[in-house]
Amino acid sequence: MYLLQLAVKSLANRRFSALLTVLAIGLSVTLLLAVERVRIESRASFANTIAGTDLIVGARSGSVQLLLYSVFRIGNATNNMRWDSFQRISNHPQVAWAIPLSLGDSHRGFKVMGTSQAYFEHFRYGRNQALSFTAGQPFDDLYDAVLGADVARELGYQLDTDLVLAHGAGAVSFVEHSDKPFRVSGILGKTGTPVDRTVHISLEGMEALHVDWQQGMPARGTARVDADQAREMDLTPKAITAMLLGLQSRISTFNVQRDINQFPNEPLQAILPGVALQELWSLLGIAEKALFIVSVFVVLTGLVGMLTAILSSLNERRREMAILRSVGAKPRHIFTLLLFEAGSLALAGILLGLALMYLVLWLAQPWILTQYGLFIPLSPPGLYEWTLLGAILITSILIGSVPAWRAYRQSLVDGLSIRT
């Protein structure tokens, strides 16, 4: 204990260089922990976004692309699927329920999705959790809208608030559907998934927005259809973006998938969400490993900086070590003293790195959620992260043994002699 106090006092005497060393280690630890936290929580967030869905169906494209735009609202569909195809697949004897999804519009940067009542009844996330309402109810009127938790919170919307949807899925849109305003009928509870950042309307409401559009442009003059006129029209959709399927039995999953992939009316694709997620992570695996390796080398660089700082100070501390030896300190005490110094620097750097990591995640959490739809919780370090921190501490002590050994070998006479 006395040697530990002596090590702390010695570091305090060289506080400027010690603080720089702690800062270098802290920043490197922050990078390593932040990369690992984002990687682990991203996997968990992706995996918890959808549950209980056996198949996702959409126009033929890549499985990862279909998963991203239908579930995570990332990217856009290459093509739509016809409404009559949705009906035929829904009537398949092995299909228990089907949820239509229609994307393409937005509201102040949030995606707008047209769907049916089946969405609120059958959609599951996390550990098979159902959607819940904190206020209101599912859409009932043609111009009703159900908001995700983040949409309501960030925009300050409440029940019966009017909102105008915009054409296009981008953050900025130059064409708004101002002639057909919607009303907030319900607000969903927090899910930690892209549902929180989605405005949900009925398929008929989505069709009403574009009923008078031609070739991607709104009608003008007498050709325009106002909100009341749209109520009197047939608003059965002609096409949707994708659909989610729940089957009677999971044993029939591959049979239904094959039937959809061989669908005669149009080229469609059915994917298993879990398989598509694994494919997504396999594509990102190389980048993950590269980031981890870079982070490890950054940590090693910080520890080597600590080694350099201690070694460079040894020559200045030769007389200090000699005085300690002269008052009874044994060589092993000098060795232990230097190890304590290295361990103290590393421990302080680790604690600083933890604090900075949580600060960075706290600041970046809204941006990551907005840009990528990923929720990174500020949870305590897990076993894996503690293992990494323990490995860093042990490595720092091993590195600190180098200057400790040099100090151990220094002689009393050499330390007390005056060099000219």
* 197: nearest Cα among 129, 160, 146: 146
Pairing verdict, β 55-59 and 242-247: antiparallel
Q: Which domain holds residue 139?
A: 55-271
Are 136 and 168 in the same domain? yes
Are 172 and 305 in the same domain? no
Rounded to whole angstroms, the Cα distance separating 71 from 63 reads: 12
Band of residue 44 on the pLDDT scale cut at 50, 70, 90: confident
Are 130 and 208 in the same domain? yes
For residue range 135-194, what is the model confidence (pLDDT) as tens digits?
999 999 999 999 999 899 889 999 999 999 987 655 556 577 888 899 999 999 988 888
* 174: nearest Cα among 129, 203, 216: 216
Are 75 and 35 in the same domain? no
Are 202 and 221 in the same domain? yes
- Joined tokens for residue 213: 């559009």
What residues have CB less than 8 Å from 348, skipping those under 6 apart?
A: 22, 25, 26
Are 7 and 134 in the same domain? no
Predicted confidence at residue 119, as pLDDT, reads 95
For the chain, counts of helices (H) and of strands (E) = 14, 15
**Residue 33 located in a structural domain:** yes
**Residue 279 located in a structural domain:** no
Predicted confidence at residue 277, as pLDDT, reads 83
**Residue 78 located in a structural domain:** yes
Predicted confidence at residue 360, as pLDDT, reads 86
For residue range 76-127, what is the model confidence (pLDDT) as tens digits?
888 899 999 999 999 999 999 999 999 988 898 899 999 999 999 999 988 7
Q: Where are the alpha helices (DSSP H) in 182-272?
A: 203-209, 227-231, 253-261
Please give the mean pLDDT across all residues of the chain.
81
Predicted confidence at residue 8, as pLDDT, reads 60
Are 31 and 70 in the same domain? no
DSSP label of 250? G
**Residue 392 located in a structural domain:** yes
**Helix (H/G/I), strand (E/B), else coil: 57:** strand
Predicted confidence at residue 413, as pLDDT, reads 46
Are 169 and 211 in the same domain? yes
Where does a domain end: 205, 240, 271?
A: 271
Are 320 and 219 in the same domain? no
For residue range 253-275, what is the model confidence (pLDDT) as tens digits?
999 999 999 988 899 999 999 88
* 182: nearest Cα among 102, 99, 107: 107
Q: How far apart are the first and last CA of the chain?
A: 38
Are 27 and 77 in the same domain? no
Asked if the model's pLDDT at residue 412 lies above 50, the reply is no
Predicted confidence at residue 3, as pLDDT, reads 52
pTM of the model: 0.70
For residue range 374-393, what is the model confidence (pLDDT) as tens digits?
667 777 888 888 888 888 88
Rg of the chain's alpha carbons, rounded to an integer?
31
Name the domain count of the chain.
2
Where does a domain end: 271, 306, 333?
A: 271
Share of the chain above pLDDT 70, in %: 79
Phi, psi of 192 (to 5 degrees): 70, 20
Bigger pLDDT: 244 vs 371: 244
Predicted confidence at residue 30, as pLDDT, reads 86
Lowest mean pLDDT among 61-65, 243-247, 287-291: 287-291
* 85: nearest Cα among 270, 266, 245: 266
**Residue 276 located in a structural domain:** no
Lowest mean pLDDT among 15-19, 69-73, 162-166: 15-19
Mean of the pLDDT values across residues 28-34? 84
**Residue 277 located in a structural domain:** no
Predicted confidence at residue 136, as pLDDT, reads 93
Lowest mean pLDDT among 26-35, 101-110, 244-253, 333-342: 333-342
Mean of the pLDDT values across residues 15-32? 80
CA 268, chain centre distance (Å): 30
Where does a domain end: 219, 245, 271?
A: 271
**Residue 278 located in a structural domain:** no
Are 196 and 300 in the same domain? no
Residue 244: CB atoms within 10 A of its CB come to: 25
Q: Is 192 left (phi over 0), alpha (psi -120 to 50) or beta?
A: left
Asked if the model's pLDDT at residue 352 lies above 80, the reply is yes
Predicted confidence at residue 315, as pLDDT, reads 60
Predicted confidence at residue 170, as pLDDT, reads 57
**Residue 118 located in a structural domain:** yes
Are 256 and 292 in the same domain? no
Task: Write out the DSSP string of 63-132.
Answer: HHHHHHHHHS--S--SS-EEHHHHHHHHT-TTEEEEEEEEEEEEETTEEEEEE-HHHHHH-EETTTEEP-
Residue 304: CB atoms within 10 A of its CB come to: 12
Is residue 122 within 8 A of residue 278, CB to CB? The reply is no
Mean of the pLDDT values across residues 301-306? 78
Band of residue 416 on the pLDDT scale cut at 50, 70, 90: very low
Rounded to whole angstroms, the Cα distance separating 362 from 372 reads: 16
Predicted confidence at residue 162, as pLDDT, reads 92
